Structure 1
Amino acid sequence: MEISSDEAEDWFMESLHMYKDLHVFQLEHPTKVIEWTSEKSICVAGYSSPKNEILELLLPLKLYAGGKQGLCPERDFKVERGGFSDEPVACLKHIFGKRCLVSSGCNSSKLQVWDIGIDDTDIIRRTGVINLSDTSAKSRKIASGLTEDPCVLHGFQISDVQLTELASGKVLYAVGTDSVDAVSGLQFVNASAFVVCTNNGTLYVGDTREPKVERYALQERMSGSHWTFGLRTGQPQSDTASCTVSRLSSSGQVLVSDLRKMSSPVRQAQLNLQHSVASSDFLTVTWAPALDNCLAVSGFDGTVLVFDTTSWSTESKTPEPIFVHRGHNLSCETEAETDGPPLKVTAHAWHPWRPRTLLSAASDGSMHVWDWVDKSNEQI
């Protein structure tokens, strides 16, 4: 989408009132992963070149300067550590409680283990490779285990979802089903319970102490789309009964379900999309960890949409977002790409404790961190 200079300038002027904070950074290559490694740092990784960087970035210190922001010299992202992957990175997860990452490539079934390092080094080193029995070139989705012993749950399709111990490469658990549904995402609820979403929108709920998994398929009228999901939990060790799952389709449907009653969604919506989606590579839906009933959606175009689901019902209506981040399209530092594919947001992530702060990355390599102004609570 071509953006005029006047439109970009208008957005810049509007942004002074729309955002409490807005910081822009340019990566050499775009990333489809944004993974928190501490409350002030994230990891990103390239997915589009022969040799891809994995970087740990320190967020702008201005975000944490409080009332002394004017005295804060650091207003940009800072590269803390870096390393290189010999294959494009499709999925990257930080291991719970450790200075360690696990990645999967776009063209391989193996998992790579990375040491982020400590204060006396600026290098991210690969320390191991987990070679799997299925050697076909398939990108695997990954979830970090929530136990003290580092482990990951991973899989390309439901039948090969397994839990692997990082130190030994030993398989600790395997799903007991022969389903070939492709995995679009998986996440732990607590140390043993987990949820898996497949490309066709089916949810599987399981426990690493029992091979059997419960399967919850969508109604046939919702088939034909690609689906991804986001899981809202209370604490790292939640009960499945306290969790809410949102599913997002490539056609813009959003289904919100309670894991205690999966027969039908408790809320749903049909997003008003301006652009069609050729693939589901970048579709992302996430719950705000510090803002009740709010979720963010991206991957359809160059925007991130934020919705308050409080007023949603069981009937599918078209809600208005409470905020739209258009900065990747309209940032004055970003030139419009008229010849290549349209700009898309490739990933976004909420800040763990700042309610309205998100990070987003786009296919042009731009990386933004932004905190929008809540107009509804402004003093009149």
Structure 2
Amino acid sequence: MADNAEDDDWFFDSVTRYKQLYMYNLQYPVTALDWINTNCVCVATRGRPTHHELSELSLPEKLCTSEDLALSKNRDFQVLSGGFSSSEICDIKHIPGTRLICSSSKKGEGHVDVLKLGSLHTDLIEVDRKLKNKKPKGSWSLIAVQDQNHVIFGSHGDNLCCGDVMTTDVLQDTCECSMTDKISSMRNVHPHTVCCCLTDGKILNWDKRENTPNVFDTGCDHSVQWTMDLLGNDMIQLSSRGHVQWIDMRKPNQAIYLNNTGLSTNDAQFLRIHLKRQNGSPDQYSISGFDGNVYLYSRQSQTPLFVHEGHARNSSGDPSEVKVVTHLHHPMECVILSAATDGSIHAWRQT
């Protein structure tokens, strides 16, 4: 248990540190998150060995708008639809403009399920079809959405597949690629290209119009594990030793910003970094996966602008054992959604 006096201080300080702070406890820990629209999120949780939940949740109305709503009847997450999976879901992506999501699970052998969210006729989330990986390697696939009809999925450099969500056909793949390294993160660049960060920090770019992906080195330390995020030409990488490097993709061999956060972890499975647009351009970034906190930084600073400590401070158990498993920035508002290993999920906007 955290020290009660310190907890009280944190709660009192939160009144001035947050514009909004909503803290909820789910029955099971979150394993994956993705936005469905500006008001709703899809949440996967780890439950019993063969019984894992998938839910479509609406967020509190006051949190999802920059307008000052003096009175709001909706101050809680509302379950809009839900379903179950026999295997723990590790990645989910919503297909924009549809009521479809794609999911990848631990026992899915790298294949991807296409699920229908609830409708006017049912509140169940159900598997509708499956995209099969042409070279399954026993690992779950990361997913990047290209458009309403196409997704790219895979776990390694040599098993990326571009699948048609409607027909389930695999249209292109990298099965002949010699780069067999495992992928830690994947981002869509434009309708033809996906960018992947390999676990050793190398970057793989795959243009679907070409058979062979392009692999390049950003000059990072390959002895540690890395993840990344990408917005336009701005790419940012984070290592398991807490090192950050910001790269202009037009000059990928030269970092334009370096930072040593002083954080470190031996378990990189929850390592996350996200770029955030500030006044139209990426200027801030957030990181998590080292402990029970989410850290927000600016490119103009080496120290955090803000630290969300709520998961550790509000934990009913040992706060040192709580770890943030993932976090997301709201598509429009300055809101962050974060989830931790103790089942807590927080939605917050700092002052």
TM-score range with shorter-chain normalisation?
Answer: over 0.9
Amino acid at match of 1:137: G
Q: Distance in 2 between matches of 1:81 and 1:289?
A: 31
Alignment of 1:337 onto 2:318: yes
Give the AA of the match of 2:259.
A
Q: Which amino acid in 1 is paired with 2:241?
A: S
Alignment partners' CA distance in 1, 2:250 and 2:65: 42
5 Å matches for 1:183-202?
183-202=183-202
Residue 210 of structure 1: how far off its partner (Å)? 1.2
What is the total number of aligned residue pairs between the two structures? 346
Distance 2:222 2:134 in 1: 31
- In the aligned structure 2, how far is the partner of 1:65 from the partner of 1:203? 36
C-alpha contact 1:47 1:90 (8 A) present in aligned 2: no
For 1:56, the equivalent position in structure 2 comes to 56
User: Which residue number corresponds to residue 119 of structure 2?
Assistant: 118
| C-alpha distance 108-16 of structure 1, shift in aligned 2 (>3 A) | same
5+ unaligned residues in a row in structure 1: which ranges?
234-242, 312-318, 374-380
- Structure 2, unaligned runs of 5 or more: none
The residue that corresponds to 1:83 in the other structure is 83
Where does residue 254 of structure 2 map in the other structure? 264
Map 1:79-158 → 2, pairs under 5 A? 79-109=79-109, 110-146=111-147, 148=148, 150-158=149-157
The structure that is strand-richer by fraction is: 2
CA distance in 1, matches of 2:249, 2:76: 40
8 Å contact from structure 2 (residues 288, 295) kept in 1? yes
Secondary structure, in 3 states, of the residue corresponding to 1:76? coil
Paired amino acid for 1:366? S
Residue 327 (structure 1) aligned with residue 310 (structure 2): yes
For residue 321 of structure 1, what is the amino acid of its counterpart?
P
Structure 1 residue identity aligned to 2:74: E
Match of 2:337 among 359, 366, 377: 359
> What do residues 124-147 of structure 1 show as CA deviations (whole Å, max 9, x unaligned)?
11111223343442111111112x
Change over 3 Å in CA distance of 1:217–1:66 after alignment to 2: closer
In the TM superposition, what is the alpha-carbon distance from 1:119 to its structure 2 partner? 3.7
**Preserved contact between residue 143 and residue 188 of structure 1 (Cα < 8 Å):** yes
Letter in 2 for 1:203: I
TM alignment of 1:1-380, pairs within 5 A: 2-47=1-46, 49-50=48-49, 51-64=51-64, 69-109=69-109, 110-146=111-147, 148=148, 150-175=149-174, 177-219=177-219, 222-233=221-232, 243-273=233-263, 276-290=264-278, 292-311=282-301, 319-331=302-314, 334-337=315-318, 342-354=321-333, 356-373=334-351
Q: TM-score, normalised by structure 1?
A: 0.86
Using the TM superposition, give the Cα deviation of residue 25 of structure 1 relative to its aligned residue in structure 2, in angstroms. Answer: 1.5
1:377 paired residue number: none
Residue 195 of structure 1: how far off its partner (Å): 0.7
Percent of aligned positions that are identical: 29
Quote the Cα distance in structure 2 between the aligned partners of 1:136 and 1:215.
20
Moved more, 299-308 or 285-294: 285-294
Change (3 A) 1:21 1:181: same
